[in-house]
Structure 1
């Protein structure tokens, strides 16, 4: 799952840790699409792109993926990774196109709905954000994935000046656990940001402080708690 834009993105999300590991991509469908010999070559190129993406070398990943997607547009793995790469580069419209194709090619996968919804949010397409959130919520996949979708949906409401609704969506039934995981911290941080924007500074400070105590280096939580 993608962890959000590199900078200037539409959501306040923490960036993933940079990785130097080599990523291997397996795409069995390639054999049927391009033949066994060509499939080996393209799998190698996909692995190079995935490794570049993992290391946050997004322009390199884009350069590798663009011709692959042009050659094999029906390969879901390529469209997914290309969409995530474009998203990380802030190319919201292009990223949405690729991730829409990924959803179609996979028969309706919601794995990248939070990222796709964030693209739609950046484009001001709030109706589509609502649709994607509803699909994700009712499908009920993993908790962290639903959490990401909830953050984006709440952010879209806040963008429209609906801060009370945004806080209600993000805060419903939520309490930071004693040993929070990253998706808990992300939700708490986003909720604190909404409280601050709504003028409830004490509540915002409390949440920022809780996040900072759990993970001192989490974004600028400590600084905002003290501010």
Structure 2
């Protein structure tokens, strides 16, 4: 039930230990949505057996993030990145900084050299977090500029456009630009046939 890359990392352990760690990781993944604190307990148990495995530290970080243990999440995800070199969790790392009341530090992650290595959707998530940090600082124009970097061509939506355009609409509404906000909520809704976001409702409320 583990990803192939995680199984490969666990091969550095003895078979008995790899099996035990694997079971804890699976249990953590299964509990993550319904009981994040329970998931965190499982992930911590895996860490006790395999603290040098990046996938284990990442699992602890993700579980801690869902359990709103921001400091632990930040430490674990930064450790996982240091071990593996994988920057894919930069958005969560930045969001932890924001949750800890450090929006300036959160915003700095957009300047990390590894941002260029992120795939389209991971980059969008980072842009959304950094825009939120700029909003926390009262810098709405800067927040809108950050989101614009993700692509605002409604004829050619990029990966992650549904969430990016929703965030852009939300920021425009916060800036008092209601008509423009409705347009971007509607654009987001157009990419969301399953209604994952409430973009259509937000657009209707502004018209």
Find the aligned partners of 2:150 and 2:30 in 1 and give their Cα distance.
38
1:130 corresponds in structure 2 to 107
Which deviations, in whole Å up to 9, do the C-alpha atoms of 1:107-137 show, x marking residues without a partner?
A: x321100011011011122332233211166
2:21 pairs with 1:42: yes
Which deviations, in whole Å up to 9, do the C-alpha atoms of 1:173-227 show, x marking residues without a partner?
A: 7225457576111000000000000011110011112222332513221121111
Aligned pairs, number: 202
* Distance change (3 Å), C-alpha of 1:28 and 1:202: same
Higher share of residues assigned helix: 2
Find the aligned partners of 2:9 and 2:198 in 1 and give their Cα distance.
43
Which deviations, in whole Å up to 9, do the C-alpha atoms of 1:66-92 show, x marking residues without a partner?
A: 122123221111110111111112221
Q: Is the 8 A contact 1:176 1:184 kept in 2?
A: no
Partner secondary structure for residue 39 of structure 2: helix
Q: Is the 8 A contact 2:21 2:49 kept in 1?
A: no
**Which consecutive residues of structure 2, in runs of 5 or more, have no partner in the other structure?**
none
2:49 pairs with 1:74: no
Find the aligned partners of 1:40 and 1:85 in 2 and give their Cα distance.
20
Find the aligned partners of 2:145 and 2:70 in 1 and give their Cα distance.
27
1:7 corresponds in structure 2 to none
Using the TM superposition, give the Cα deviation of residue 31 of structure 1 relative to its aligned residue in structure 2, in angstroms.
4.5
Which deviations, in whole Å up to 9, do the C-alpha atoms of 1:141-194 show, x marking residues without a partner?
A: 211111111111111001100001111111247225457576111000000000
Q: Is the 8 A contact 2:70 2:99 kept in 1?
A: yes
1:51 corresponds in structure 2 to 30
**What is the alpha-carbon root mean square deviation over aligned residues?**
2.3
Find the aligned partners of 1:211 and 1:29 in 2 and give their Cα distance.
38
Using the TM superposition, give the Cα deviation of residue 38 of structure 1 relative to its aligned residue in structure 2, in angstroms.
1.9
Q: Is the 8 A contact 1:185 1:211 kept in 2?
A: yes
Using the TM superposition, give the Cα deviation of residue 48 of structure 1 relative to its aligned residue in structure 2, in angstroms.
2.6
Structure 1-normalised TM-score? 0.79
User: 147, 164, 167: which one pairs with 1:170?
Assistant: 147
Find the aligned partners of 2:19 and 2:163 in 1 and give their Cα distance.
39
Find the aligned partners of 2:175 and 2:113 in 1 and give their Cα distance.
27
Report which stretch shifted further, 38-47 or 161-170.
Answer: 38-47
* Distance change (3 Å), C-alpha of 1:173 and 1:57: closer
Q: Which has the higher contact order (CA 8 A, sep 6+)?
A: 1
Runs of 4+ in 1 over 6 A off after TM superposition: none
